Amino acid sequence: MTLPSQLFIDGTWREPADERRISLTNPATEATFAEVAAADVADVNAAVESAQRAWEGGWRDLAPGKREAVLHAVARKLREHQEEIARLEMLQIGKPISDARDEAGLGARCFEYYAGAVTKFGGQTLPVGRGGFDFTLRQPMGVVACIVPWNFPFPIACWKAAPALAAGNCVVLKPASLSPLTALKLGELACEAGLPPGVLQVLPGAGAAIGDALVTHPLVRKVSFTGSTEIGRRIMELASRDLKRVSLELGGKSPNIVFADADWQRAAETSPMSVFANTGQDCCARSRVYVERSIFEPFVERFVAATRKLVVGDPANDATQLGPLVSAGQRATVEEFLADARKRGSQFACGGGRPHPKGYYLEPTVLLDAGKGDRCWREEIFGPVVAITAFDDEAQMLRDVNSSPYGLSGSIWTNNLSRALRVSRAVQSGVLSVNSHSSVHVEAPFGGFKQSGLGRDLGLAALEGYTELKNVYVAE
C-alpha cells in the first residue's frame, strides 16, 4: 500500500511551496510512520485558483446527468478501494478496522446518494398573479472550502464534498493535520474515476497556518466546517467580512434520556457504545445520561457490566470496539477532565486509567454523582467518559437538558408514544433518536441547534446549502 504524501492540486500531486511536512504518528503504537506535505498560503492560492478555473471551465455548466455519472463512478472507485481506505484511516487515527470499513462504505454511499439526487433537484414555478410568472433556480456557488476534523475523516470529507460537487461547485478540501491520508486518497481516486482535474483539491496543513487564508480567500464562496466550537466561531467571524456562506457542525453534549417505562435493559446494554464508540471522539456522543430514579440502580449496574465487556485494544483486530485516542494531547485533555471529576468527588463506577502501556489508550469511564456545575457534566470531553444521573420529574429534567449551550443530538428511551413525541419536540437539538442511538443517515439532515452549529450536512438539506437560490420573474 503506497501512502499519499503530497498535496493534490489540479488533478496532480504537488510539492508544497515551502517544503514543509507533517509527520504522522500511529496512536496505537506511538510510532511515526509517514510524512505528508503541509500546504502554505501560496498553495492555498494555487488550489483555490485551480478550483475556480475548473468551475468556469465546465463543471458549473455540466448537465446534471453528466455530473451524476461521474459521481457514480467515484462511488464505485471508493467501493473498490474500501479496504485500503479503511487501513489508512486505522493507521492515522487508531480507528478500529471494522468501524473504518463501515465508514469507508458510508463515504461511497454519500457519492451514490448525491449522484442520484442531483437529477431530481431543481427550482419551482410560483403563482405570483396575472401578468407574469415566476420561477426559481438552484445555482452553484463557485469554490467551496470544506474543512474537516480527525474523528471521522473520510466520511465527513465525503458528506461535504459529494453534495458540493453534485450541486456544481468545485471544492478545496482541508483535512485535519492528524488525518490527511484518506482525504488525499479521495482526491486521487475521484480523479481516476473521471472527476475533471481541478474540481476537487486536497490540501493537508495546519489550520493555524492556512485556515485564515482559505476562509478569507475572495474566490471562496462558502466554507463548510466540522470541528470545535471555538474554531467554528472564528470561521464565522472571518466569513462575515465578505458575507461568505458558512455551515458549521460543532461540538455537542448530547443527552441520553431513559424512562422507567422503556425497555431499559436494552437501553443499558446499548448505551455504552453510544458514548464510547470511536473512543468517545464523537460530536454525537451521548455523554449525559438521565435515568428515571426508580430504575437508576439496576440501569447503572447493567450499563457498567456492558462497559466492562467492551473490547479495548489493537485497532487492527476485527473484534476491537475501542482503539486509542487520536493523540497524546487528546488523552491529556481527557485526563484533565478526569482529574477534575476526582477533585469534585464524582464516583468512578469503572474506568479512569490507562489499560495498555503503549498507545494513547484510556479505559471507558463511567462517572456517577457528577455535580450539574462540574466540567464533566457541562463540557464536551471528546473522550471515553460518561456521566449518569437520576431524575424524578420530566419537566425539570428537560430544563436541565436544554440548559446546555449545545444541541446536536440525543436519545430518548420510552414505550409511551405520547411521551416520545412530547419529549422529542421539547429537546433542543438538531438530531434525535427514539429507542435507538442512531444519528447519521445519508438521507436525513444532520446538524445542530444553538452552539452545535449552523446549517445542515446530509440529506437534500445539504444539497440546498451548496446552492444559491435565484428568483426570476417573467412578464407575459
Binding site for ligand NAD (CB under 6 A): 147-151, 174, 176-177, 206-208, 211-212, 215, 226-228, 231, 234-235, 249-251, 283, 380, 382
Hey, how many other C-beta atoms are within 10 angstroms of the C-beta on 135?
15
Q: Which residues pair with 37 in a beta bridge?
A: 21
Residues 6+ positions from 67 with CB-CB distance below 8 Å: 59, 115, 118, 165, 166, 168
Q: How far is the CB of 253 from ligand NAD (least distance, A)?
A: 10
Among 137, 82, 73, CA closest to 107: 82
Nearer Cβ to ligand NAD, position 144 or 235? 235
Question: 453-454 and 245-249: which strand pairing?
Answer: antiparallel
Among 227, 224, 155, CA closest to 186: 155
Nearer Cβ to ligand NAD, position 228 or 402? 228
Q: How far is the CB of 20 from ligand NAD (least distance, A)?
A: 14
Q: How far is the CB of 81 from ligand NAD (least distance, A)?
A: 23
Q: What's the Rg (C-alpha) of the chain?
A: 23
Q: Which residues are catalytic?
A: 249, 283
Nearer Cβ to ligand NAD, position 159 or 299? 159
Distances (CA, A) of 310 to 97, 276, 295, 435: 15, 9, 23, 21
Nearer Cβ to ligand NAD, position 5 or 439? 439
Query: Which residues of 5-96 form beta strands (DSSP E)?
Result: 7-9, 12-14, 21-26, 31-37
Nearer Cβ to ligand NAD, position 150 or 360? 150
Nearer Cβ to ligand NAD, position 226 or 433? 226
Q: How far is the CB of 247 from ligand NAD (least distance, A)?
A: 12
Q: How far is the CB of 390 from ligand NAD (least distance, A)?
A: 27
Half-sphere exposure of 330 (CA within 13 A, CB side): 25
Dihedral of the alpha carbons of 453, 442, 427, 373, in degrees to the nearest 10 = -50
Q: How far is the CB of 172 from ligand NAD (least distance, A)?
A: 12
Hey, how many other C-beta atoms are within 10 angstroms of the C-beta on 182?
30
Distance CA 196, CA 168 (A): 12
